[in-house]
Amino acid sequence: MAGRTSQKTLITGAHGQLGRTLTAACAARGIEHEGRDIDTLDICDARAVRRWIVDAHPSVVVNTAAFTAVDACEDNEEQATAVNGLAVGYLAAACNEVGAMLIQISTDYVFPGDANLPYREEDLVAPTSAYGRSKLSGEELARSAHRHLVVRTAWLYGRGGRNFVEAIRTQIDAGALSLKVVADQRGCPTFCDDLADAVLDLAAAGSTGTIHAVNSGSTTWHGFAVEIARLLGSAATVVPVTTGEVPRPAPRPPYSVLDTTRFEAALGRPMPPWQDGLRRYLEQA
């Protein structure tokens, strides 16, 4: 998909892990682009959002801006809904004005987490956390854009931000010989580089609707940590624990594996295995 194009892409949340990666991916493909974050655009300011999008007249707007502190959302649901929900409506309205496509990045947290088979796009959504509820609101408002694509992803990590991989690496670098990691939550670790390529490829293919995009395969947080330690050459023991042993303010879905059949049909390929994404991340980071 490399090559120069005249289409302009706007990216919100440009300082975040995915926003940074998308910006770099646009540059590598020769896509004209502009990124903004809270220092230059408050997406909760409807007038500012409209002015930016109308003035730039983009073909695509990718919204990666979000209130992602899952536990903090429990005590700040109104703020989370404003950022993850209402602001998406402002983006959608402005996109409609200029005929742009809105790509909304969403999450596995919109599902209840009680399944035993990978969630499909059309499966029942029933979030159990404030974060999940706020992101579901964002999905619903994104669909008010005449041209829209909701991309659900999960367990995201990339350069330039806090993430699970760095949390494990930090403990290992500090000399930890034993790490306790939850073993009863299963999902799909996803590398920002792979997701950014997926988003741009879906946009280029003209995909619309709702699509799940995660690295192939699934594991538990414990299995993820074991692979991180192995790739780092660490002798630390990763001890499996239950969710109940490490309680958190926000409930986590026990099972949030996403089915990617629709993604594979759209692009004719799966995303790389999660182990491969992790290896590349650790080699680069």
Active-site residue flag, 119: no
Cα dist. 217→3, 34, 43, 214, 255 in Å? 30, 33, 34, 9, 13
Neighbours of 150 (CB within 10 A): 24
Q: What is the largest CA-CA distance in the chain?
A: 56
Partners of residue 119 on adjacent β-strands: 258
How many residues in total does the chain contain?
285
Q: Are 115 and 255 in contact (CB under 8 A)?
A: yes
The pairing of strands 186-187 and 219-220 is antiparallel
Report how far residue 182's alpha carbon sits from residue 243's, in angstroms, rounded to the nearest whole number. 6
Residues 6+ apart with CB under 8 A from 272: 191, 194, 215, 216
Q: Phi and psi at residue 205, in whole multiples of 5°?
A: -80, -5
Q: Which residues make beta-bridge pairs with 149? A: 103, 209
- The secondary structure of 13-60 as a DSSP string is STTSHHHHHHHHHHHHHTEEEEEE-TTT--TT-HHHHHHHHHHH--SE
Options 131, 157, 255, 281, the catalytic residue: 131
Which residues belong to the active site? 131
